[in-house]
A and B are shown apart, each in its own frame.
Chain A
Amino acid sequence: MKQKIVLHFPSIVTEQPFTYHLIKEYNLMVNILKANINPRKEGRMVVEVCGDQEDYQAGMDFLQSRGVKISPLEQEIVWLEDRCTQCGACVIICPVGALVMERPEMKVKFVGEKCIVCEHCIKACPARAMEVLY
């Protein structure tokens, strides 16, 4: 199975190695899409995890037992459709085609599964229709 998820690290664990364990002990392929630590020393990492269902579950249990919060990626970036003016300014900003213009209708669509939470669209959207949830 393959899953894009967001890991939230409380400040007390940000200095501990986690990806190492996921790879080495749980046999998971971990592709880091984005990682950052805020001034309060809380970490946030967007990853794509790939492996057996069982290994995946065990890996997630391991993370949770260490205080890491896991959330599905779809809930990270939201497209507020009723705020969206359908301008299309975002389609050249999004690096992975998660914001696309359907032609010839000229309708903008947000494809949540593709989003890698790079957050480029947040300030590029003039109408502030893209929001990031933490």
Chain B
Amino acid sequence: MVKRTYEEINAKIRAGEAVVVTAEEVISMAREKGIEETAASVDVVTTGTFGPMCSSGAFLNLGHTKPRMRMSRVFLNGVEAYAGVAAVDVYLGATQLPESDPANTNYPGDFNYGGAHVLEDLLAGKEVLLEAESYGTDCYPRKKLEKMIRLDDIPYALLFNPRNAYQNYNVSVNLSDRTIYTYMGILKPNMGNANYSTAGQLSPLLNDPFYRTIGMGTKIFLGGGVGYVSWFGTQHSPEVLRGENGVPLSPAGTLAVMGDLKQMSPQWLRGISLIGYGVSMMVGIGIPIPILDEEMLRYTAISDEEIITDVVDYSEAAPQGTGETLGKVSYAQLKSGEITLGDRVIPTASLSSYLKAREIAEILKEWIKSGQFLLTKPVFTLPTTGEGINYRKIV
């Protein structure tokens, strides 16, 4: 029986002796040598994902001006940041659009720029126009501010994403007879394509289906820098149906994550434009999974064939929230480029990058192998099945 503690793993990492492999590499190792032998040799498995993750954004403290200002409305490159936090504290949401954006009035809208692009511009070192308004108070007399700023000029920038890294997500198709534009991309009529968005076998929460090692304080790769899991994410829903391997068959767990924006990179936090839908952000996340025992190795050895998800019609079932599904497919099928649904063969496309997910898992692996990245034991792990936490819909 293999048993390892976080302390033992970290001692090996410090000594440069830890065996670290990616969630992709561990699959073939486990197939060749078996679970037991692989668990005995591997200390850490790294995961990765790089896909559109709406619920993202950053808390910024813009610094006090002279004279002081209690900013009540704040815009960055025309994109409003929520200023109802404190005098110069704001939250810039990734999906926020500039007030001037025509949105879907000229359907389908382009959505060329939004909050996520502002964050990307800041990370790229670009100047951004800060505009602020205030009604003025005795202690904060200033009423107007217009200034070009860079990330370096912002005293404090915290990326805080309330819902990232969805554990499994459904596949979208369109049963109607017109093209529809969704957050799952362009869906051609009569099931012309099927879109999905996950890193599958490399995806963090699919490699630890019951969240045995992931929780508050787990140190992770976030946006190219180091971040932490801060809480379970919004809509975290561990009680969904699961396969025999414990892997959820539909969207389940989510993460709230945070980290110092200033050490992140525009390569791993990218603003994207989803035609007809809006703006979102591609977020790069990688989570190291300690192989505490054989069970953890078995979880991380999961492959795309064993991860199943629902196909959902985004012309009717998804927008109306009927919960109806059209069938189940595996990620191996999705990644082959086509799925079969009844007698129909449907080409597939992804919104999440598998290639970049692999790159993240590799980077994290190198960080750990070089001794610079130690694992943290969570203060508490995410709520799992049987704890009464479930996502409820309002009616």
Interface residues of A (CB under 8 A from B): 85-93, 101, 103-108, 123-124, 126-128
- What chain A residues lie within 8 Å of B253 (beta carbons)? none
Q: Mark B137-164, 1 if CB is under 8 A from A, else 0.
A: 0000000000000000000000000000
State the CA gap A130–B272 with chains docked (Å).
13
Q: Does B30 contact A (CB under 8 A)?
A: no
Stretch of B70-78, B322-330, B350-358 at the chain-chain interface:
B350-358
Given known A101-B337, A103-B336, A123-B275, contact A128–B350 (CB-CB < 8 A): no
- What chain A residues lie within 8 Å of B353 (beta carbons)? 85-88, 106
Given known A88-B350, A106-B355, contact A127–B270 (CB-CB < 8 A): yes
A118 to chain B, nearest CB (A): 14
- What chain A residues lie within 8 Å of B274 (beta carbons)? 126
Given known A88-B350, A92-B348, A123-B110, contact A103–B335 (CB-CB < 8 A): yes
Inter-subunit contact A92/B112 (CB<8 Å): no
Q: For A82, give the chain B residue with the smallest CB separation.
A: B267
State the CA gap A108–B335 with chains docked (Å).
13
Inter-subunit contact A127/B282 (CB<8 Å): yes
Which one, B192, B336, B337, B351, contacts A126 given CB within 8 A? B351
Inter-subunit contact A85/B349 (CB<8 Å): no
Inter-subunit contact A88/B349 (CB<8 Å): yes
Given known A101-B337, A127-B270, contact A107–B355 (CB-CB < 8 A): yes
- What chain B residues lie within 8 Å of A85 (beta carbons)? 50, 270, 272, 282, 353, 356
Inter-subunit contact B185/A89 (CB<8 Å): yes
- What chain A residues lie within 8 Å of B275 (beta carbons)? 123-124
Q: Which of B16-58 contact A (CB under 8 A)?
A: 50-52
A-B pair count, CB < 8 Å, reads 71
A90 to chain B, nearest CB (A): 8
Dominant SS among interface residues on chain A: loop
Q: Does B68 contact A (CB under 8 A)?
A: no
Q: Does B134 contact A (CB under 8 A)?
A: no
State the CA gap A87–B337 with chains docked (Å).
13
Inter-subunit contact A126/B349 (CB<8 Å): no
Q: Does B390 contact A (CB under 8 A)?
A: no
Q: Does B273 contact A (CB under 8 A)?
A: yes
Given known A85-B50, A93-B186, A124-B186, contact A105–B355 (CB-CB < 8 A): yes
Q: Does B195 contact A (CB under 8 A)?
A: yes
Q: Does B188 contact A (CB under 8 A)?
A: yes
Q: Does B189 contact A (CB under 8 A)?
A: no
Q: Does B176 contact A (CB under 8 A)?
A: no
Q: Does B225 contact A (CB under 8 A)?
A: no
Inter-subunit contact B193/A126 (CB<8 Å): no
Which one, B110, B195, B336, B337, contacts A89 given CB within 8 A? B195
Which one, B193, B336, B352, contacts A87 given CB within 8 A? B352
B11 to chain A, nearest CB (A): 36
Q: Does B347 contact A (CB under 8 A)?
A: yes
B98 to chain A, nearest CB (A): 16
Inter-subunit contact B186/A87 (CB<8 Å): no
A120 to chain B, nearest CB (A): 9
Which one, A86, A123, A126, A128, contacts B356 given CB within 8 A? A86
Q: For A91, give the chain B residue with the smallest CB separation.
A: B349
Which one, A89, A92, A106, A124, contacts B347 given CB within 8 A? A92
Which one, A86, A92, A124, A127, contacts B355 given CB within 8 A? A86
Inter-subunit contact B337/A103 (CB<8 Å): yes
State the CA gap A93–B181 with chains docked (Å).
13
Q: For A102, give the chain B residue with the smallest CB separation.
A: B355
Given known A123-B275, A127-B270, A127-B282, contact A89–B349 (CB-CB < 8 A): yes
Inter-subunit contact B112/A89 (CB<8 Å): no
Inter-subunit contact B272/A106 (CB<8 Å): no
**A-B contact list, 18 entries, CB within 8 Å:** A85-B270, A86-B356, A87-B282, A87-B352, A88-B354, A90-B349, A91-B347, A92-B349, A93-B349, A106-B335, A106-B355, A106-B358, A123-B273, A126-B273, A126-B274, A127-B282, A128-B112, A128-B273
State the CA gap A126–B347 with chains docked (Å).
19
Which residue, A90, A108, A123, has most C-beta atoms of chain B within 10 A? Answer: A123
State the CA gap A46–B320 with chains docked (Å).
43
- What chain B residues lie within 8 Å of A126 (beta carbons)? 52, 185, 272-274, 280, 282, 351
- What chain B residues lie within 8 Å of A103 (beta carbons)? 335-337
State the CA gap A124–B184 with chains docked (Å).
12
- What chain B residues lie within 8 Å of A123 (beta carbons)? 110, 273, 275
Q: Mark B329-343, 1 if CB is under 8 A from A, else 0.
A: 000000111000000
